[in-house]
């Protein structure tokens, strides 16, 4: 533990191990980057162990995701070089597995996070039952001192699969960037109203076709990149595909839209929803985990009929949406992350309910 106190906190050296890192563009990377910045602002030293530090191969169908070719020893040496007070393993990929094994071999406490519904994603891509993949997820997370989760629904879902040691870790918005008074995006300003917007990965697991197949009048806009982009462009020539947008350009797209459509049924949170709300744009979504935890009456509408959800959301008050969106801060998210960390050699994080899992082998 480092000497000194930052904003009433004991300062730490924190090692974050993640298979998802820049230049990838997704919610995991954006969350980690934002929280890292807040932790450093508070005085902590944060080191990220990521795929760019090792030999790697592109992931099939997701070439921007790199699969690390390094064993527990090399990853463990990187961890030891940091001399961390706390270790957080952010992802369940090869780098996360190597770090997990090193920590268990050396009896080092660590935390994990459940960012992504991998069982559902893999089921959508392979046609195999999601329960097959839950065996791996349960194996991976069970030894963690705590599993950080974005919503109560995710905590209940993990508990149903035998993972009980969960702690809350919410998400935030860059409130200086995402706000309702930003200038309209020129690519959206001339479109027929109402403008219906999707932002995120363009991939099968995001269920984008459910949005593109809706019949509400107006214009549909898709912002993002991914493996399904080419096929969707060919299938839906009347849809505006804007590609990936970042920073102020992304914020102006949110603010220019009349409704933000979130068709995913598998996201654990949906960072894009609160960014849209902070820009004053109401949300239409399915009544599933993620939207149920994030939305409230007056800022969005959830309905199994996405056309009805869009129509209802268009009637929401934009000022109320912006006020609600401003309630999500990265500072609060970073404080939850810090509170959930398991300090090496220290007491376990609060509110944990069961013993750590054993060092069992990977399930067949």
Alpha-carbon Rg for the chain in angstroms? 21
In tens, the pLDDT along 278-293 reads 999 999 999 998 999 9
Question: Under the phi-then-psi rule, with left for phi > 0, alpha for psi from -120 to 50, and beta for the rest, what region is 351?
Answer: left
In tens, the pLDDT along 213-254 reads 999 999 999 999 988 999 999 999 999 999 999 999 999 999
Cα–Cα distance, 3 to 189 (Å, whole number): 53
List strand residue ranges (DSSP E) for 124-232, in order.
Answer: 146-149, 166-168, 195-199, 219-223
Cα–Cα distance, 17 to 65 (Å, whole number): 15
Cα–Cα distance, 310 to 285 (Å, whole number): 8
Give the β-pairing of 5-6 and 9-10: antiparallel
Longest CA span, the chain: 61
On the question of pLDDT at 347 being above 80, the answer is no
Question: Under the phi-then-psi rule, with left for phi > 0, alpha for psi from -120 to 50, and beta for the rest, what region is 18?
Answer: beta
Q: Residue 57 is encoded by which pair of tokens? A: 């191969």
pLDDT of residue 362: 38
Instruction: Choose among 349, 362, 176: nearest CA to 275.
Output: 176
Q: Residue 284 is encoded by which pair of tokens? A: 């239409």
- Residues above pLDDT 70, as percent of the chain: 89
How many of the other CB atoms lie within 10 Å of CB of 133? 18
On the question of pLDDT at 166 being above 80, the answer is yes
Q: Which helix (H) or strand (E) covers residue 45, if one does?
A: strand 45-49
pLDDT of residue 296: 95
Whole-structure pTM value: 0.85
Q: Are 223 and 242 in contact (CB under 8 A)?
A: yes
| Sign of the CA dihedral running 187, 189, 195, 199 | positive
Average pLDDT rounded to a whole number, residues 188-211 = 94
On the question of pLDDT at 357 being above 50, the answer is no
Cα–Cα distance, 306 to 145 (Å, whole number): 39
How many of the other CB atoms lie within 10 Å of CB of 213? 13
CA 54 to chain centre: 24
On the question of pLDDT at 356 being above 60, the answer is no
On the question of pLDDT at 361 being above 50, the answer is no
> Which has the minimum average pLDDT: 64-73, 236-245, 331-340?
64-73
More confident: 309 or 130? 309
Q: Delineate the domains of the chain, giving CATH numbers in brackets.
A: 5-172+331-340 (3.40.50.2000), 186-325 (3.40.50.2000)
How many of the other CB atoms lie within 10 Å of CB of 7? 10
In tens, the pLDDT along 98-145 reads 999 999 999 999 999 998 777 776 766 777 777 888 899 999 999 999
On the question of pLDDT at 346 being above 90, the answer is no
């Amino acid at each position: 533990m480092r000497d000194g106190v930052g904003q009433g906190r004991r300062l730490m050296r924190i090692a974050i191990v993640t298979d998802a890192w820049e230049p990838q563009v997704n919610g995991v990377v954006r969350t980690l980057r934002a929280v890292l910045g807040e932790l450093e602002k508070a005085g902590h030293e944060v080191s990220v162990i990521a795929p760019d530090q090792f030999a790697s191969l592109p992931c099939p169908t997701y070439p921007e995701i790199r699969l690390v070719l390094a064993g527990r020893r090399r990853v463990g040496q990187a961890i030891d070089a940091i001399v961390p007070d706390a270790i957080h393993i952010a992802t369940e990929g090869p780098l996360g597995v190597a770090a997990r094994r090193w920590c268990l071999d050396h009896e080092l406490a660590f935390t994990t996070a459940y960012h992504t519904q991998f069982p559902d994603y893999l089921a959508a891509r392979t046609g195999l039952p999601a329960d097959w993949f839950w065996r791996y997820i349960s194996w991976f997370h069970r030894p963690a001192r705590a599993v950080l989760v974005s919503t109560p629904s995710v905590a209940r879902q993990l508990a149903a699969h035998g993972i009980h040691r969960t702690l809350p870790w919410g998400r935030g918005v860059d409130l200086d960037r995402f706000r309702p008074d930003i200038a309209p995006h020129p690519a959206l300003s001339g479109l027929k109203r109402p403008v219906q917007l999707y932002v995120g990965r363009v991939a099968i697991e995001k269920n984008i076709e459910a949005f593109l197949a809706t019949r509400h009048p107006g214009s549909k806009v898709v912002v993002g990149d991914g493996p399904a982009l080419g096929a969707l462009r060919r299938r839906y020539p009347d849809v505006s595909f804007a590609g990936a947008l970042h920073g102020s350009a992304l914020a102006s797209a949110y603010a220019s839209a009349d409704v933000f459509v979130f068709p995913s049924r598998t996201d654990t949170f949906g960072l894009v929803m609160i960014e849209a709300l902070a820009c004053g744009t109401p949300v239409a979504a399915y009544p599933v985990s993620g939207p149920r935890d994030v939305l409230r009456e007056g800022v969005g509408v959830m309905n199994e009929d996405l056309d009805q959800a869009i129509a209802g959301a268009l009637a929401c008050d934009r000022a109320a949406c912006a006020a609600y969106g401003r309630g999500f801060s990265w500072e609060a998210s970073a404080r939850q992350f810090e509170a959930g960390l398991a300090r090496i050699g220290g007491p376990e994080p609060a509110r944990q309910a069961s013993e750590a899992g054993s060092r069992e082998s990977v399930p067949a």
